[in-house]
A = this chain, B = another copy of it.
Amino acid sequence: MNSIKIDDTYAEAFETKASYLLITAATRELAYTAAVEATGFATSFIGCPAEAGIDGYVESSKTPDGRPGYSIIICQNTTKKLEQQLLERIGQCVLTAATTAVYNLLPESQIQSNLGFKLSFFADGYQEKIERYDRTLYKIPVMSGDFLIEENIGITDAVAGGNLYITAKTQQTALVAAQAAVNAIREIPGVITPFPGGIVASGSKVGSKKYDFMHATTNERYCPTLKDKISDSKLSKDTNGVYEIVFDGLDEERINLATQSAINAIKTIPDVQEISAGNFGGKLGKYKIHLKR
């Protein structure tokens, strides 16, 4: 392990609502294709209609229908908005995808959204409610055969905004360290990394110093090309790259675990300088995810 300075701070995370679904298909590749489409355009609540991501591969021996699948997580900040996102994302990106089926991975949640019931109207009267795999499903006839979806999809309280900053001598070192961190986080069930490739190149601060109408702007104190132009840069002279990792999880414990796993992964990469995190003095959320445990 390489020796890296860990900033004695915490990542400020916040509450969200989340659904946890399983998409299966005839082949692993087909399931993946649907999962990618359903979780696209979903990096940040600031400008996307959801935060979403692929949680992981689910082996065919562990899915209800014996086919390979991918679990996904979709987040929004209210149950109502999340239900709308489920309807649109599953209806447009999974019902339409070749050979897919959709199952509920939160059957114990108190809140259950009747997504399958709602989507079944697409069948225009030809839908059937059936019992299969110890679940209540809707069968929707489509061009390729029948689409199956579980009647209810659970919604749970979850945690968004886990994060880490990685500071390095070169942009590329910070990037590869970020990729290693994302690899490690993606191994943890129930945690997603919603940004492109799991990585944020343009980490932001809350609000703006200059423009009232901006909810989030560049975190200039961590911008390498500004370090000689501003007086309060957090970066040292020889820092040329910073990347942020952002992750959402089903509970605080998972976010803590993801944080530690990511730190361990970053330590495997030489020439990283420091690991820090973004916190905004409580403006953003109630969870404090300390880097040092």
Contacts and interface: CB of A to CB of B under 8 A. Distances in A.
Interface stretch (A14-22, A168-176, A284-292): A168-176
Nearest to A127: B218
Interface stretch (A37-45, A108-116, A151-159, A248-256): A37-45
Given A60-B184, A223-B141, A99 B171 contact: yes
Interface centre among A95, A145, A269 (most CB of B within 10 A): A145
Interface residues of A, number: 111
B96 A27 contact: no
Contacts of A170: 168-170, 172-173, 270-271
A243 to B, nearest CB: 6
Q: How many copies of this chain?
A: 4
Contacts of A61: 184, 187, 261
Interface of A: 1, 26-30, 33-34, 36-44, 46-49, 59-61, 65-68, 87-89, 91-100, 121-126, 140-147, 165, 168-180, 183-184, 187, 195-197, 199-204, 208-211, 213-214, 216-220, 222-226, 229, 240-244, 261, 264-265, 267-271
